[in-house]
A and B are shown apart, each in its own frame.
Chain A
């Protein structure tokens, strides 16, 4: 792993940091990210699936040379698998060992010592949230709490202590405080509302679908093998689809997948047959696919082609 680099000094620095790592961000996102780093506040990213929320954390970790600690949330996630767990088997062995050595000498003092010995650091299994509190000065890890909306409210409430004070209280051991607060990034797909108390502790940002220019830049950075003409057609087509009022709009991730798929098929331009063969990469709902397979798809493609042609002519003049 590379050495940890300090956080950027300005919004422009943040922007160039992200782009150096291949993430094309808009100014709004860079501003929020910079503030979150500067003020030491968690960043709360909300948006549709596949707009690059998780990617921000990954890029940030790699470009700052920090460790990425990821907590994937799921229903029923509890403290035992998110924060810490005791190694019960080893604790049992420890108790038996002590018995064998001491020969079962009882008394209050021995009992207290046993408690202390069994609940010590040796038997503590550290889960992601606890690991994130152990960063060295200047090298705090990036903590990604992914898809927070998948857990329940009870877990959310538990995060409050960690996010506002960067500390965890373990009843048997005491409070563990971070020397250097981690860089926290929380993502949600909005399958349910997150409580205001948690949002209040974070800086909020809605990650939207990129506009055509930015999507073009993303495509260039991520799938350089796609030719100029193909890229332009792909972006224009996807942008059109997003305006169609579909059940699930294609995200940036889908655009990139589609571009890779078309390259694998050695395509240099879009044609109706190719689109209908590969549409499953882009759209994931049968209703949407059926709609595109019918008249809508052809219309969109024709519009894209004619607009691009018009733009090319305008440029030629």
Chain B
């Protein structure tokens, strides 16, 4: 991807450019987002740095190609494999030393090239290597904690279903779903004076008439973070709430979605796909513990430690979808729920298992979690997406207050 003039200026950088281009393709193949512009940048950076050793070369390419901390291991592995032939890097280095003006021999270059193409394919290995999670086998397993790794196929959505879902989503109002920003927007009705607009409108009349214009704080939707349970006991609802999550990701900004059973998976990027079937397929590929056991406590611990600070800023609302059936140990669960509750603006628990009005919060997991949620919403029947929307948009009833449920247990 080096421009023609670059190549003309300096025959030697042509080779360098080509190798960096191949390297960039290797990175792209391994799942990193590397565009043509960064190849040009990389060549410029290497020229600017005037590299003299392998480490400098590594960090020079690193700062251009890696733009997310998560990509570092992929880059590291790809770099090691791609530039593993010592001669290749040395040849690169030679291009910068004034001694090595003579072009390398044709024969040597060919050898270098074949190695490049070998490592080009080798470079794609790390993707599988890195992304393949290790299966943990625990000696002490109870039935519900067992980790079952399986994939899931979802029935495709029909056109009618999509239409109904759209309508249901349009009526969805989440509880406490607005935050006042510090930023302003213009309004017609009197309030706080907007000096800038007042002045510019008065200038239109040559300054004769100064009529006040007004502004008010803008109101926006806060970020939404969804933690959805996909364990065995919830499996009959998975499809419905994945559709719900896809629709909600499409409708509003700043939605982060995590699925958990025995492990936590961030499926935000997968759900951003436009087509619902596509998105669900990607999700089912990304998640490995469909319909397995539940470890709510430890997955929320993982969320708190690794993600809470990254996604819960700016007044996020957390929507937790789970039945609360947990045998992981109530102490850790209560503790982690407490931490989660303290790090977000509002924690809403949606429980789809409350099918009877006579439900009592007897299960130990439920009792551990209830004191730490702001709102407890129940769905009595969950056959369609509209039920889910209905449960969430209902005005706050006494039944949604977790204290009501806790009192019922105590009595």
A residues with CB within 8 A of B: 10-11, 27-28, 31-32, 34-36, 38-39, 41, 44, 46, 74-78, 80, 86, 88, 91-92, 95-96, 98-99, 104, 106, 110-111, 114-115, 118, 149-150, 152-154, 172, 189-193, 196, 199-200, 203-206, 245, 247, 287
Given contacts A99-B207, A114-B206, A196-B33, contact A152 B49 (CB under 8 A): no
Q: How far is the CA of A78 from the CA of B196 in the complex (A)?
A: 14
Contact with A along B168-182 (1 / 0, CB 8 A): 000000000000011
Say how far A301's CB is from chain B's closest CB, in angstroms.
24
Tell me the complex Cα distance, A98–B203, Å. Answer: 12
Which residues of chain B from 275 to 316 have any CB-CB distance to chain A below 8 Å in the complex? 304-305, 309-311, 313-314
Q: Is the CB of B69 within 8 A of A31?
A: no
Is B144 engaged at the interface, CB distance under 8 Å to the other chain?
no
| Cβ-closest 8 pairs across A and B | A76-B182, A95-B207, A191-B313, A31-B59, A88-B195, A199-B67, A32-B63, A203-B63
Q: Is B407 an interface residue (CB 8 A)?
A: no
A35 touches B206 (CB 8 A): no
Q: Given A88-B199, A206-B69, A287-B339, are A192 and B49 also a contact pair (CB < 8 Å)?
A: no
Q: Which residues of B are found within 8 Å of A199, using beta-carbon distances?
A: 67-68
Q: Which residues of A contact B137 (CB under 8 A)?
A: none
Tell whether B35 is near chain A: CB-to-CB under 8 Å: yes
Residues of the B chain whose Cβ atoms lie less than 8 Å from the Cβ of A118: 199, 203
Count residues of chain B with CB under 8 A from any CB of chain A: 48
Q: Does B37 contact A (CB under 8 A)?
A: yes
Chain B residue numbers with a CB within 8 Å of A111 are 203, 206
Chain A residue with the shortest CB-CB distance to B316:
A192
- Are B44 and A39 neighbours in the complex by a CB distance under 8 Å? yes
Supposing A28-B62, A88-B199, A115-B203 touch, asked if A152 and B314 sit within 8 A by C-beta, the answer is yes
B271 at the A interface (CB under 8 A): no
Decide: A76 and B313 in contact? CB cutoff 8 A: no
B56 close to chain A: CB less than 8 A: yes
Residue contact A190 to B207, C-beta cutoff 8 Å: no
Beta-carbon contact of A247 and B206 below 8 Å? no
Interface residues of B (CB under 8 A from A): 33, 35, 37-38, 41, 44-45, 48-50, 55-56, 59-60, 62-64, 66-69, 72, 181-184, 195-196, 198-200, 202-203, 206-208, 210, 223, 253, 304-305, 309-311, 313-314, 335, 339
20 contacts between A and B (CB under 8 A): A31-B60, A31-B63, A35-B49, A38-B49, A39-B41, A46-B69, A76-B181, A78-B184, A86-B196, A110-B206, A114-B206, A118-B199, A172-B200, A192-B314, A196-B33, A200-B67, A204-B63, A204-B67, A205-B63, A206-B69
How far does the alpha carbon of A26 sit from the alpha carbon of B206 in the complex, in Å? 61
B49 touches A34 (CB 8 A): yes
Among A28, A193, A206, contact of B310 (Cβ-Cβ < 8 Å): A193
Minimal beta-carbon separation of A98 from chain B (angstroms):
7
Question: Contact: B59 with A27, CB < 8 Å?
Answer: yes
Cα A202 to Cα B202 in complex, Å, equals: 42
A162 vs chain B, min Cβ distance (A):
18
Interface centre among A11, A92, A205 (most CB of B within 10 A): A11
Write the chain A residue with the least CB distance to B69: A206
Are B207 and A38 touching (Cβ within 8 A)?
A: no
Nearest-CB distance from A136 to chain B (Å)?
23
Q: Is the CB of B199 within 8 A of A149?
A: no
Quote the shortest CB–CB distance from B199 to chain A (angstroms).
Answer: 6
| Bound-complex Cα distance A222 to B302 (A) | 35
Q: How far is A199 from B68 in the complex, measured between Cα atoms in Å?
A: 9
**B residues within 8 A CB of A77?**
182
Distance of A28 Cα from B72 Cα, bound (Å): 13
Instruction: Report whether B310 and A75 are in contact in the complex, using a CB–CB cutoff of 8 Å.
Output: no
Whole-angstrom distance from the CB of B126 to the nearest CB of chain A? 18
Contacts of A31 in B (CB 8 A): 49, 56, 59-60, 63
- Pairwise interchain contact A192-B196, C-beta atoms closer than 8 A: no
Given the interface pairs A11-B49, A88-B199, the reply to whether A200 lies near B37 with Cβ below 8 Å is yes
Considering the chains assembled together, what is the distance between the CA atoms of A99 and B183 in angstroms? Answer: 34
When the two chains form the complex, which single residue of B48, B55, B181 contacts A35, counting CB atoms closer than 8 Å?
A: B48
CB within 8 Å for A10 and B45 given contacts A95-B202, A200-B67: no
Cross-chain contact B311 with A192 (CB below 8 angstroms):
yes
Is B56 touching A196 in the complex (CB atoms < 8 A)? no
